[in-house]
Structure 1
Amino acid sequence: MTTMHETDLTASRPLGDLPRLLFGHLHRSDQQRWGHVYLQGLLRTHGKKTVRRMAAVVTGSEAASTSLHQFVNASPWEWGPARGELARWAARSLPVRSWTLAPAVLPKRGSHSAGVHQRFLPESGRTVNCQLGMGLFLDVGRAHVPVDWQLFLPPRFLHDEAERDRAKIPATTRPQPLWDQALSLVREMTSWSGGHTAPVVADLTSLCDTTPLTQRLQGSGHSFVLAVPGQTALGGPDVPPGERESARAVLLRRGVRHPAGAGRQAISYETTVRGLRPDGERDLGPGRLMAEWDATTGRPGRIWLTNITDRHPAELLELARSPRGARNAVRHMGEDFGLLDFEGRSFPGWHRHMTLVSAAYACATLEGMTP
């Protein structure tokens, strides 16, 4: 028996003006046509989204798979303009609450796909062979819409010319730590939005040290809500290391509790946030440590640092739930929208596939939502 969920996935969805916006910058009509076919294939093909199956569903001919494969892997088109249009299209649909950063771990076989490496995942306690993508999602309340991606590249893909050529990594691509990739996504989104920003929300504590990201967001004037490890030491360089307190200890000893609705409590502590401006100068600004209070353990839960001080901690903790929604979106994209089904190994191919998967997910998710 076909479930309602399956029926929704295989139904032909009205794409409206989205294909024109995404592919309007392409000069060749065949590129525009195959972009539309790939997008429809991701939306209408049930199960694994191979190019052969998508071609058969949308065009009625498996032979069209060659053209689909070439469109993603070999046809020379830039994904940046398409992502910018996708971001603006999504932002027009519903008010954006935050720009949420979240990772996508994509298991892979072999060692030649761009960015593939061995990575230990603390959540599952195991090591996997994978690609690691960093995505920026627009949190519109009832949905998290992916609009931009970075692919983490281990050193061998940037320093080994043979690996670099095999993966078709552009010569301009430089090594970037994960926090810097996250910052690049924020900068790109800022340029697409014409300077209209939203709070940056992320929990990247299992992936990297987020201190450099915090400093640069503060220094560039971005508001943020970022998870920090409980053992994070507070206090500037003028405070001896032995006298610095951890974030968790500060909340336990000096935090103030606030009602957070439904019998819950938040706990917060006013602090300062250190920033690093684009000109290299350092500054200090008001900030806040906060967490949801766990009445069972008598301890704060996940700890967040924010430079937003004019909103109630309970409201900010609600915003801090956004990374969970983005992770759910990644899981849904993998199960139903072909996130894990890319048939290729190249850096450009990965980015084009992620762009199209994001567009398909955005279309299916935002369809029917009232502005």
Structure 2
Amino acid sequence: MTTTHETPDTATGRPLGDLSRLLFGHLHRSDQQRWGRVYLQGLLRTDGKKTVRRMAAVVTGSEAASTSLHQFVNASPWEWAPARGELARWAARSLPVRAWTLAPAVLPKRGDRSAGVHQRFLPDSGRTVNCQLGIGLFLDVGRAHVPVDWRLFLPPRFTGDTAVRDRAKIPAATRAQPLWEHALSLVQEMAPRADGRTAPVVADLTALCDIAPLARRLRDGGHPFVLAIPGQSTLDGPELPPGERESARALLLRRGVRHPAGAGRQILSYELPARGPRPGGEHGHGPGQLMAEWDAGTGRPGRIWLTNITDRHPAELLELARSPRGAQAAVRRMGEDFGLLDFEGRSFPGWHRHMTLVSAAYACSALEGMTP
């Protein structure tokens, strides 16, 4: 069900006007600042589908203003990175951040002209869809998951063909990257915005990309993480002959330690040796552990998580591992109520600007009334 949200212009504590000044204060033109505020108000106040025509009518009283809104998002030359930096700092100042959570957003599209559109099989639904695939970084503040940055996955045809690149307005320096590399860049971009207040990186991206290089690079960069991994992932066992390896599931079943977690629940954990996992035959660079909640119904471990955090109880870390569910719930709500799926354009810059504005509108609503 799509709902209308009270605009935080009149709310106490987090007025939309203050946030819009932070987001668009770097813009030199007053008309750009004005249309940024109008777009945010439109996303918050417009019932149903958030077309620029409907948002313009709700906020300004004139559908004719839709041309200016469309221009602001698709063609007006403003950078989204500074706005996202301000959004991240604003959200991080609001409440303590438990985790930096990475989560995907699948955006169904028609045709093949929109930046990044491709055919993708979705294991959860068992079907193939024509879509854009974004990955976002969310600040988990406990009762809310606030989106603060995004990357758009680009298949090689969007960067290897000049005509396709130009039509989608993809910058010349932008290259096709695997999804794990986009995830890593989100973390690296967030670090200087956090003013030294880092948080564990939490993600369940097993259905979309190879987790091994992401875990390796996060470990190398000194980032604490809790990452879901496939049960068949192979890891070193300290007592195994050279070259012989076991899967993560087998290690937990044969060598895992059981921990009571209350209400009849049990958690399995296995401490990895200092050399860590060897994805792709490469050595790790530090200790870590595998964790999973024991599934009494199947007699097997459930979702398996790899972490390099060794000074917290597995039950506490598995509670943190619930964060991707909250981020996915935020993605669904952004699609239902905040216009995530309603972008009217095909360009790469337009997509990023729309995602920035949707994120700001959702953050304003999600954090409204929450006590710092």
Aligned residue for 2:285, secondary structure, equals strand
**Residues 110/274 of structure 1: CA separation in 2 closer, same or farther (3 Å cut):** farther
**Aligned residue among 8, 13, 34 for 2:8:** 13
Measure the CA separation in 1 of the matches of 2:245 and 2:324: 29
Return closer, same or farther for 1:75/1:230 CA change in 2, 3 Å cut-off.
same
2-structure distance, mates of 1:339, 1:19: 19
Q: Indicate if the aligned counterparts of 2:115 and 2:348 stay in contact, CA closer than 8 A.
A: yes
In the TM superposition, what is the alpha-carbon distance from 1:297 to its structure 2 partner? 1.4
Instruction: Tell me how far 1:261 sits from its aligned partner.
Output: 2.3
The 8 Å contact of residues 272 and 284 in structure 1, kept in 2 or not, is answered as no
Which residue of structure 2 aligns with residue 24 of structure 1?
A: 25
Residue equivalent to 2:324: 323
1:344 maps to which residue? 345
Decide whether the 8 Å contact of 1:169 with 1:346 is kept in 2: yes
Partner residue, 2:95: 94
Task: For 2:145, give the aligned amino acid.
Answer: H
**Structure 1 residues 41-120: aligned runs within 5 Å:** 41-120=42-121
Q: Deviations over 1:150-191 (max 9, x none)?
A: 000000000000000000000010221110000000000002
- Equivalent residues of 1:137, 1:146 under 8 A apart: yes
**Which one-letter code corresponds to 1:145 in the other structure?**
V
Partner of 1:260: 261
Per the alignment, do residues 126 and 275 of structure 1 end up closer, same or farther by CA in structure 2, a change over 3 Å counting?
A: same
Shift of 1:305: 0.3
Q: Matches of 1:149 and 1:348 in 2, distance apart? A: 12
| Alignment pair present for 1:153 and 2:154 | yes
- Identify if the C-alpha distance between structure 1 residues 68 and 275 changes in structure 2 by more than 3 Å, giving closer, same or farther: farther
2:294 aligned partner:
293
Report the CA distance between 1:244 and its aligned residue: 1.0
CA drift of 1:30 comes to 0.1
Q: For 2:74 and 2:194, locate their aligned partners in 1 and report how far apart those are by CA, in whole Å.
A: 29
Q: How far apart, CA to CA, are the structure 2 residues paired with 1:354 and 1:253? A: 45
Q: CA deviation at 1:194?
A: 2.9
Q: Is the 8 A contact 2:98 2:199 kept in 1?
A: yes
* Offset of residue 204 of structure 1: 0.6
5+ long unaligned stretches in structure 2: 10-15
Shift of 1:298: 1.4
Cα distance between partner residues in 1 of 2:222 and 2:358: 31
Partners in 2 of 1:36 and 1:261 — Cα distance? 48
Measure, in 1, the Cα distance between the counterparts of 2:284 and 2:234: 18
- Any idea what SS the aligned residue of 1:252 has? helix
Q: How does 1:218-233 map to 2 (within 5 A)?
A: 218-233=219-234
User: Number of paired residues?
Assistant: 361
1:368 is matched with 369
**CA distances 1:273-330 after superposition (whole Å, capped 9, x unpaired):** 6589xxxx97521100000111111111000000001101000000000001100000
User: What letter matches 2:87 in structure 1?
Assistant: L
Q: 1:240 deviation in Å?
A: 4.8
Describe the superposition over 1:112-146 as per-residue Cα deviations: whole angstroms up to 9, x where unpaired: 00000000000000000000001000000111000
CA contact (8 A) 2:236 2:276 kept: no
**How far apart are the structure 2 equivalents of 1:10 and 1:41?**
10
| Secondary structure of residue in 1 paired with 2:110 | coil
1:189–1:275 Cα change, 3 Å? farther
Q: By how many angstroms is 1:354 displaced?
A: 0.1
CA contact (8 A) 1:215 1:275 kept: no
How far apart, in 1, do the equivalents of 2:17 and 2:37 lie? 11
Match of 1:206? 207
- The secondary structure found in structure 2 opposite 1:261 is coil
TM-score (norm 2): 0.94
Partner Cα separation in structure 2 for residue 130 and residue 273 of structure 1: 41
Runs of 4+ in 1 over 4 A off after TM superposition: 236-241, 273-276
What amino acid sits opposite 1:61 in the alignment? Answer: S
What amino acid sits opposite 2:159 in the alignment?
L
- CA drift of 1:236 comes to 7.9
Judging changes above 3 Å, is the alpha-carbon distance between structure 1 residues 358 and 272 closer, same or farther for their aligned structure 2 residues? farther
Identity of aligned residues (%): 81
1:68 is displaced (CA, Å) by 0.1
- Secondary structure at the aligned position of 2:286 is classed as strand
Tell me if structure 2 keeps the 8 A contact 1:100–1:139.
yes
2: CA distance, partners of 1:69 / 1:146: 23
Deviations 1:209-240 (A, max 9, x none): 11000001001100000001000111189955
Q: Indicate the residue corresponding to 1:195 in structure 2.
A: 196
